[in-house]
Structure 1
Amino acid sequence: MKVYLGEVIHPDAVALLEKNAQVVRPKDHSRQAFLEALREIDGMVARKVHVGAEEMDRASRMKIIARHGVGLDSVDLSEATRRGILVTNTPGANRESVAELALSFMLALARKIPQAQKAMANMPKGDIGIFTALLKQYNLTGIDLEGKSLGIIGTGRIGSTVARKCIAAFDMKVQGYDPYVSAEVMKSFGVEKVERLENMLPKIDFLTVHCPLTEETRGMVGKKELASMKKGAYVVNTARGGIVNEKALLEALNSGPIAGAALDVWELEPPDPQDPLLHHPNLIGTPHYAGTTEESLHRVGMVAVEEVLRFLRGEPPLYPVNPEVLKKK
């Protein structure tokens, strides 16, 4: 069986795939090489590459697309289902890593760590008295996380993990907005459910986003929502670009209530290097790397490869996204 692999995944996952399948790789990084490599494959491991109708046309023998991760915005799920192609993902495999980055962002924003590093780089050597002046010049007085209020959009595997960590470590008061998780379930991990997002936003010190990008969530946090937040609030997004409207966020950082924000995901990836949001002094930006830890890459890579191999051996997959395909086979 032939399996396409054109992106970097954990070496252990690569070794497992090479041991059990013929791995097909593109000759170079061009789009044409990518499309050529799809011609005779039975399955593929897809990390960030887009797989839509054109790609599926080229991969006429493809039976499975194994997403290296959880999000499905890079795969045309309806088209795959129509063609009888199974799509799997790796739920929970990067949960700890993404949750830890979200918490790291909150700490970095609260304590103004990027600004403090900049201040240190501009401090005259050996002048201890300059410290006090730097605190004022760079406005380095931060806030504690202890006892602050946190709002979470999306309280699934990652959102609930963030909640547990923030409650355990900082005794934060956590509210959650998620139409698909009951109040009883949220209560089990210490979160108070809110039925309407607009009821939560004015009350919280920090907002963190952990829902998928869908037509329902696209632009969910926009100009109106950001304007309703309390003065000095912070926004964190480690989910998907497009859920938080970047133009509205820039306006809220410049003249609205938002004191700082941290984005690991962007509407356009990578963003324009000249994007003013990317260069805002109160914005922490990272290159969609929340799940990029040694442990997470190992878990995600192994699960994705095991799903491909399992399915191509005729065994039922563990994490089918469109299980209706299996019923037709």
Structure 2
Amino acid sequence: MPFHAVFLDQASLDLGDLELAPLRNLFDELVLHPSTCPEQVSERLQGAQIAISNKVPITRETLQACPELKLVLIAATGCNNIDLAAAGEFGVTVCNCQGYGTASVAQHCIGLLLALATRLADYQKAVQSGRWQQARQFCLLDFPIVELSGKTLGILGYGELGQAVGKLAQALGMQVLIGQLPGRPAQNGRLPLSQLLPQVDALSLHCPLTEQTRGLIGKDELRQMKKTAFLLNTARGGLVDEQALADALKNGHLGGAALDVLSEEPPRSGNVLLAPDIPRLLITPHNAWGSREARQRIVMQLAENTAAFLSGNPMRVIG
């Protein structure tokens, strides 16, 4: 049986710097679309047995309209863009990618922490604006610098990524404490938020966004943290109450925050955290995962998932 595959949003993964042959060689035909609007999905998947999507939604209506579809490959870990219940009803296997960005995200997370601790952005702006050139001394020390050695990092979400961040933090001389996520069975050595938050000098989020974790860090939680503490979020924007975070930073109730995620991405409707008057806040555009090496691992996992499915032994199946 010839296999026809369609990649609905290739440009979200491939910047022209990836080797697609391991994936392409598995199909009789692979059609690549840089992007796909929701109203184009069903038409583009007509006659296809395999759909590849990073963020393009594949709904019940699409699955009904595309009866030849047998496999959906998610070019990411998150699967909220796929109607998994409908996929199960229609006999469509769904596979995702896992662990591909651990090194890239962990590196980015620690980079954000270092930038907060060293006030990197503030000092860079000071040089660009000419303040160093006008200084009376050889150096400029206008912004307090924090040594991370000896400080405490709290981690919420201690899977592969949380553990990788913890190892890097320990290499900097930090102590690592692990928090207990709500709705999870209690585990030895993991602290409830009420005990964790007052102790940490930095808190890093690495947990999935669920009904139990939505708004996990809100007004009350921020108040429990030290006024000098840093908040890091490279997981999902919905984990943090963004208005509460903006207020805490403006009111001096937090030492700083660095985020790679927001509640809406891209933030076309605006976001309270994008206001220009919020101090000690760094935001990057959900690019922590995006090293070339990590994106190539996604291609390789897509190929592995395809080959496993075609052999009758699917892997990384979700749903």
Q: Select 1:153's aligned residue among 156, 160, 171.
A: 156
In the TM superposition, 1:220-299 aligns within 5 A as 220-255=216-251, 257-272=253-268, 274-278=270-274, 279=276, 280-299=278-297
Alignment partner, residue 63 of structure 1? 70
SS at match of 1:147: coil
The one of 296, 315, 318 aligned to 1:318: 315
- Look up the equivalent residue of 1:48 and give its one-letter code: K
Query: Which stretch shifts more, 273-282 or 230-239?
Result: 273-282
Identity over aligned pairs, percent:
33
**Correspondence for 1:210:** 206
Distance of 2:282 and 2:227 partners within structure 1 = 19
CA distance in 2, matches of 1:26, 1:49: 11
Secondary structure of 1:271's match?
coil
**What is the CA–CA distance in structure 2 between the aligned matches of 1:157 and 1:181, rounded to whole Å?**
18
CA deviation vs aligned residue, 1:275-312 (integer Å, no higher than 9, x gap): 3412333211111111100111111221023212331x
Distance between the aligned counterparts of 1:252 and 1:225, measured in 2? 11
2: distance between equivalents of 1:80 and 1:199?
A: 42
Q: What is the one-letter code of the residue matched to 1:310?
A: A
CA distance in 1, matches of 2:34, 2:102: 33
Contact persistence 2:259–2:284 (CA under 8 A): yes
Contact 1:44–1:308 (Cα < 8 Å) also in 2: no
Task: Name which of 14, 19, 39 aligns with 2:25.
Answer: 19
After TM superposition, the score normalised by the length of structure 2 is 0.88
Gaps of 5+ in 2: none
Ranges in structure 1 where 5+ consecutive residues have no aligned partner: 185-191, 323-329
Aligned to 2:145: 142
Distance (Å, rounded) in 2 between the aligned partners of 1:320 and 1:275: 35
The one-character-per-residue Cα deviations of 1:128-160 (angstroms, maximum 9, x if unpaired) are 52665x533xxx221011111111110001001
Cα contact 1:63–1:85 (8 A) shared by 2? yes
Residues 7-86 of structure 1 mapped to structure 2, 5 A cutoff: 7-8=10-11, 9-10=13-14, 12=18, 14-21=20-27, 22-26=29-33, 29-86=36-93
Write the letter of the residue equivalent to 1:176. Answer: I
1:182 Cα shift? Answer: 7.3
Instruction: Indicate yes or no: 2:169 matched with 1:162.
Output: no
SS at match of 1:258: coil
| 1:27 shift after superposition | 8.7
Question: How well do the aligned residues superpose, as a CA RMSD in angstroms?
Answer: 2.4
For residues 246-269 of structure 1, the C-alpha deviation after alignment (integer angstroms, 9 at most, x for no partner) is 111111111252121111111100
Greater helix fraction, Structure 1 or Structure 2: 1
